[in-house]
Structure formats: C-alpha cells, structure tokens
Amino acid sequence: MLDFLAQTLAGKVPTQTAGKNSHLRWQWWDEGILALTPHQSVEKTLVLSAGVHGNETAPVEILAQVVDSLLAGELELQWRLLVILGNPAALRSNQRFQHSDMNRMFGGRWQQFPESIETQRACRLEHAVDLFLAESEETICWHLDMHTAIRSSYHPRFGVLPARTTPYDEAFLSWLGCAGLQALVFHQSPGGTFTHFSSEHFNALSCTLELGKAQPFGENDLSQFDVTKQALQALLSGETSPCAESAPLRYKVAQQITRHSDAFVLHMSAQTQNFTAFPKGTLLAEDGDTRYVVKEDIEFVLFPNPNVATGLRAGLMLREI
C-alpha cells in the first residue's frame, strides 16, 4: 500500500501510482499530491493541504494518518478529495521555505518573486487545484489548509479565513468549532495565501487552520490535536462531529503592519504570544516616518514577525467581533 508521507519525503515516484479499495479509487498526481474518489456519486469536494511551510510538521503527520486510514479502507469516503503536501523540499530540510515564503505566492503572485523552487511549486499547486475543481460538479466545495504558528498563542488552535464577497456558511464555521478551533479570524482584504486562492478563484469555503507551534518531525504531541483529527475523520466519512459547548471567538483584521524598509522596528518581544492584547495608543512598530499605533480600544496581535522580507506583512492587529 502507498505510504504517502514516506514516499513524498523520499522524493521518489511511487512504484504504484493508482489503486483502489472497497470504498475509493486513488491516484498519485505529482510529488505530494494525491486524488481520492469514492466509488459512489457524491456532492461534496474537499482540498486538504498541509506542509506549505516545511517546518510545520504536526498537521503533516495528522494528514498522513488520515490518508493512511483512507487507503487502508478504514474510512468510507464521502467527498471527492485532493490531498496536498505543499512544499516537499522544505519538509525534507525542516525549513519554513527554501527561498521565499510560498504562502504569499498564490493567485499568480508567484510571478512577482524571483524564480525558485517555491515559485515553481506554487504554480504546480494552482494547476492541480484548478484541474481537480474544474472536474467538480458538486454543490459543496471546501479547502482546509493546515499550518502551525511560529509563536505560541493564547488560542492554541485557531482559523484564519480569507476575505470574500459573500458571507461564510454558518455550517462551515460551526464545523471549524467542532474541529477544536478556539478562535476564527476574518481577513478584510485579498492576500497571497493558498486559501485565498481557492476562495477567490473557485468560491470554495476555505480556512487556514493554525494548530499549535512549529516543531520538527517526531517532536509533536499529536494528542493535543485529537479533536481536529477526529473531526476530519468524521467529516470525510459523513458522520457528525461532537462540538464544544462554546463557539470559537471571532475576530476581524483591524490593521496590517507591513515592513517597508530595513529601518523597520517591531516593538514587541520575541515572547509576545498571538492574541496578546494592546490598549489604544500603544506604539506597535516604526518604519522610518511610519508609525503603527493601536487605534481601537483594544487590539490583539497575530503573526508578529519582524524578520519578514521587505514589502511583506510583519503582523496583523485584530478586533473582536
């Protein structure tokens, strides 16, 4: 039987590139890309991805376990499913990326970066999703892209949802809560993330799931993500997931901190956790004559990172909805 993760990390084409069991047919499309199709007709399509950043290994291990269960026939698949390990080269080297951050490249933005293994891979992933969803006649289309955060967080499991012109389906948001997400963050402007690409181009209900903190392979405590894994298994097999009594908190982006030059200074320590609260008037960052200050009564920081390349996001400030 295909060992999808081991084969991807080995960087080799599998000896068997297609197969089936009593529930599904599978086909290896490309390095780290696997399509699974139920024998019966279904009305739902799901793109399930992880490893867009190569040092974020817990979601990769979770996804590999789910794929193993599907290929072993232990789960009766109820979706057309495209599984993607985003950046195999970075996974093999346990680095966030080899040259540039691939999760800023989607929606054709890879053409604006110097050519690298990430620009080539972003193009291939867009093409694979396009092919898969172009075949889709289903009425429901989801994309779940699983990550881990660089920093620790007051909400260890949270979701980031791309900006879209139509409201999110409440059943989708409810499932995210059932998957153990403690907070949901709603973007207000377009971005270069994988989930924004699928949402913008295919009207998919898309979410970036942030699950804990980045650790090397073998050092993850996967038990803390059992609720997410169980929710995924239930989703794929058409079962109902048990939900927590309290729904996730909801936030929207109030402002973005962008690094424009080498003079950029972020006034936060390396220990500042995601969702740390700052009161109105707090100086957050400076970049030459540009000053970033808290404008709302309280704003919460997300993804603070002073080491990003010039022109990229160095943090988001949120307000609670």
Confirm or deny that 126 is annotated as ligand binding.
no
Strand order in the sheet with 283-287: 265-266, 283-287, 290-293
Cα separation, 305 vs 27, whole angstroms: 39
Q: What is the dihedral of CA 34, 39, 41, 44, to 10 degrees?
A: -30
**d(C-alpha 302, C-alpha 251), whole Å:** 11
Given a contact cutoff of 8 angstroms between Cβ atoms, the answer to whether 106 and 126 are in contact is: yes
C-alpha pair distances (Å), 124 with each of 60, 80, 82, 138, 140:
19, 20, 14, 23, 24
- At 94, list the tokens: 């346990």
CB within 8 Å of 295: residues ≥ 6 apart = 254, 255, 280
3-state secondary structure of 266: strand
User: Is 137 one of the annotated active-site residues of the chain?
Assistant: no
H helix runs in 180-312, sequence order? 194-202, 226-236
For the record, the structure tokens of 111 come out as: 């053409």
161 Cα distance to chain centroid:
10
Could you say which of 61, 126, 200, 210 is catalytic?
210
CA distance 83 to 144: 10
Tell whether residue 39 is among the known ligand binding residues. Answer: no
Cα–Cα dist 125/86, whole Å: 8
Other residues' Cβ atoms within 10 Å of the Cβ of residue 25: 14
Q: Which two tokens stand for residue 277?
A: 């609260």
Binding annotation:
53, 56, 147
Provide the annotated active-site residues.
210
Binding annotation for Zn(2+):
53, 56, 147
